[in-house]
Structure 1
Amino acid sequence: MKYFLSILLLVLLLPMSVSAADSLDGLVKEALQNNPDLKAAESRWHMFERKIIPASSLDDPMLSFAFVNYPTDSFAAGDTPMTGKDFKLSQKFPFPGKLGTKGEIAEQKALWYKGAYDDLKLQLTRKVKDAWYRLFYLDRAVAITNKNISILDDFIRLTETRYQVGTGIQQDVLKAQVERSKLMDQLFTLQQQRKTVQADLDSLLNRPTETPIETPEIVPVTKVEQPLPELQSISEQKRPLFAAFQSIVDRYKAKRKLAKLEYKPDFNLWGGYRFREEAGNDPVDGQDFASIGISINLPIYLDKRDEAVAEADSGIRMALQQYHEFRNRVSFNIHDAFVQMEKDHDLVLLYKTGIVPQADQTFKASLAAYQVGDVEFLSLLDALLKLYSYEMDYYRVLADHERDVARLEAESGLRFRAVEKMDTKPQP
């Protein structure tokens, strides 16, 4: 029996082994370089950037050629003095300010897609970190479960030995076997969840979904030092989508300016040249003709222009409300992530310095008492299962805390550093 107890204590005290872990910062960098959705967003932004110059450029000039005043009976060029071949070049010039305003509208639209692209980088970073910390928890959960299965294997051998020599009961053997089977069921579920989360993370990195990813045994706890009101305030400067929503407001203001300019006429300048042949009774003896002129449109249909201005005004009001709604949503999300982070931070410290060490001491005391026959096997088993549950809870809240920080980074636009360089394994 002492042999089994020695093995049991050795298994319990051995640290969980890990392989070389993938750097979280390296995975984030890889995702920002390779993620297809992010690349598409970047291309979409550049695509709309290319629309700025065309929007603010003049239309192409028009060149026309015509055979003018040819008599239908002969189609001869020298029969009448008015016959000739006309070349005409014309260029349309919008009223001053229209082209610049059209360029401004296109620029503001490109700024929206730039803000969306920059914000998508924040959201992609959050997704990578969220998946990585879920993977970290599942790795720790699998390791803890395997450790406890090994302990239960020793319990089964121990209870079988005691039953065979008449100092134990069969119920203890069966109970240990049942609990081992339950942990195996839990292990299968955890392993399946790990495969799913790894595939999710691989897809964010644009990798094959079977590419292995390893996590470390311990992670530093990130401490956010900024108070909640400061985070909510600074997000309006740091979160790219705020600038993007402001660009919508500015775009509708530019549309209103353009709608006002539509009350003004546009100009069309043109010049022409007619090549002529000599003809009888021609007072200028076949001299060529040149002409120049200007035409303008008459903006007399005011109803459609009034409606365009009203449409732009409604767009401005809509965009302002969208900005305010987004600000309220971000403020709530920051508040929610902040209070969740505070709760999980407190729980991390509680489990690390209190609950897990106390449960570990209880289990060791029960093990020592069971060795001398002072407690029943069910009490020892209960102490083990509680320690298992608390260790699982500890790594869950630790991962949840870092996921809360990742969400807070994405919502505020800030980057927080891990300032608590401590061993996050529970204290024995």
Structure 2
Amino acid sequence: MKTGLLLILLFICLKLQVVAADTSAAADQETQGPTPERLAELVKSTTKRTSIKLEDYLAKVAASNLGYASQRYNVTIADAAIMASRVFQNPVIQVGNMMDITNGGNQRLPGYYNGFVTQTFELGGKRRIRYLVARKNYAATASTLQSFLQNLRLDASAAYADAIAMGQVAAQFQRTATLLRELLQAQQERQKAGDISDVDLLQTRVEVRQFEAELLAAQSQATSAELGLNAFLGPQFSGTHWQPVGTLDVTPHSTDLFKLLSSAIKNRPDLIAMRYQRDAAKENINLEKAKRVPDVNVGVGWTNSTYSGNNTSPQPNYNMVGLQFSLPLPIWNRNKAGIASSEAMASQAQLDLENAEVKAGVDVRQALSLYGMARERVDLYKAGVLKDVDSALEKRVVSYKRGGSSLLELLDAQRKANEVWMSFYTAQSDHARAVIELHRAAGIWIIHF
């Protein structure tokens, strides 16, 4: 019998050593970095540009963003906490044996074999209240996840708007470079005909090279902004070169201050999460009060007394069954500290919520003010500035071809047109971001470019 036990223990030790070795090998493999397949997925790239609309891009963000996928596990954990709150405590089984080791043979006193099963029953509604607290915490976690997704979508929309703006800047530089190349070709023909001097030709050539360098810089920034869209996507898109489709003519869902404030207070998921956290803190007060009611332990036991032929104390073989109750007396500890702590936490949660609601109102007012100024800037350019600068440049080109303007005047008009268009694209980009921040402050998801 002892040999068999030793063999079993030896087998268990060997098995534990094998499991530990496998675990250590797996840990060593994990610290060595990603697998070749994972590495290939991260470093793959393509030169092909893939057109994508904002709605499709945001759908891919929600489906593949690893940060959002990680945050979803918080909801799973909170759901598991709900299940745990409804589980009864496990019963406890006790088995024992007592025997006489002083006497031997027929004089051995009787031995005892006993077994007990004890179950704890919670009183005072603790299990029900604990379930309510877990439900409130689950709702708060779900709202926090919604807040994370909303901010993720809005941040991705801002990156999408930047990519559009950078593309527009690059397109403007491309138009300028094309115009100057045509001008250079015309200058070369006029120089051959003797209409202009070598100095004018050289000046035009310098300007063309200058704008080509600026064009390359603008294209580089546009490419960087387009590739930056992958920062919000999963690794399967890490090598994709996106081409955002759309314009920056975006309008907010509403500009009415009362509606925006109402939307912020009612719909912002971070505020909703804080309300659930406050409710959970209030329910936790009831749970701490319920803990003043002691739990009862109920046990059922069986005892067997063996036969004994001892001359002094003979005893027959017999069995006994017993029932026992265990109840702590709440004399010294009435859980006053737990109740006071939970009440303070509930008051703190209420003040945090009120402070967040005040800050949400300030955020809405600030975002609406910034949007108004950004809207005025865009309208100023659209009211006639863009049309006027293009018309002035076109007339300057015609005048130069007819000999009524100098080359320097034409180039100065071209630079002025570029500056105005760059300022307009910047104003458009700022306006789009202002709309995004207004929606963020008001708790609005919808955004269209």
Shift in CA distance, 20/302, structure 1 to aligned 2, threshold 3 Å: closer
Return the letter of the residue paired with 2:54.
L
Aligned-pair CA distance for 1:178: 4.3
Tell me the distance in 1 between the aligned counterparts of 2:186 and 2:242: 37
Q: Where do 1:389-404 residues align within 5 Å?
A: 389-404=419-434
Aligned 8 A contact 2:227 2:242 in 1: no
Shift in CA distance, 324/200, structure 1 to aligned 2, threshold 3 Å: farther
Equivalent pairs counted in the alignment come to 398
Aligned-pair CA distance for 1:211: 0.8
Partner of 1:64: 94
Aligned-pair CA distance for 1:379: 2.0
Moved more, 327-336 or 160-169: 160-169
What secondary structure sits across from 2:326 in the alignment? strand
* Structure 1 residues without counterparts, runs of 5 or longer: 1-18, 422-428
Residue of 19, 24, 38 corresponding to 2:68: 38
Q: What RMSD in Å do the two structures reach over aligned CA positions?
A: 2.9
Shift in CA distance, 64/172, structure 1 to aligned 2, threshold 3 Å: same
Residue of 353, 356, 360 corresponding to 1:330: 360
Cα distance per residue 1:223-282 (max 9 Å; x no partner): 433402311221222121112111221222223222222322221111101123344699
Q: Does 2:317 correspond to 1:286?
A: yes
Q: Where do 1:24-423 residues align within 5 Å?
A: 24-68=54-98, 70-74=99-103, 80=109, 83-162=111-190, 165=193, 167-168=195-196, 172-206=200-234, 207-216=236-245, 218=247, 220-279=249-308, 286-302=317-333, 305-416=335-446
Aligned 8 A contact 1:20 1:216 in 2: no
Shift in CA distance, 340/297, structure 1 to aligned 2, threshold 3 Å: same
Shift in CA distance, 190/296, structure 1 to aligned 2, threshold 3 Å: farther
Runs of at least 4 residues off by over 6 Å: 75-78, 281-284
Tell me the distance in 1 between the aligned counterparts of 2:305 and 2:89: 31
Aligned-pair CA distance for 1:295: 0.8
Tell me the distance in 1 between the aligned counterparts of 2:50 and 2:416: 30
What secondary structure sits across from 2:245 in the alignment? coil
Moved more, 359-368 or 315-324: 315-324
Aligned 8 A contact 1:222 1:416 in 2: no
Tell me the distance in 2 between the aligned counterparts of 1:119 and 1:225: 20
Tell me the distance in 2 between the aligned counterparts of 1:56 and 1:221: 50
Tell me the distance in 1 between the aligned counterparts of 2:177 and 2:106: 107
Aligned 8 A contact 1:115 1:244 in 2: yes
Shift in CA distance, 306/223, structure 1 to aligned 2, threshold 3 Å: closer
Partner of 1:22: 52
What secondary structure sits across from 1:339 in the alignment? helix
Tell me the distance in 1 between the aligned counterparts of 2:76 and 2:197: 75
Partner of 1:11: none
Aligned-pair CA distance for 1:35: 0.7
Moved more, 313-322 or 290-299: 313-322
Tell me the distance in 1 between the aligned counterparts of 2:313 and 2:433: 92
Shift in CA distance, 311/340, structure 1 to aligned 2, threshold 3 Å: same
Aligned 8 A contact 2:439 2:445 in 1: yes
Cα distance per residue 1:279-324 (max 9 Å; x no partner): 4699995331111111112334448x33222222221232223223
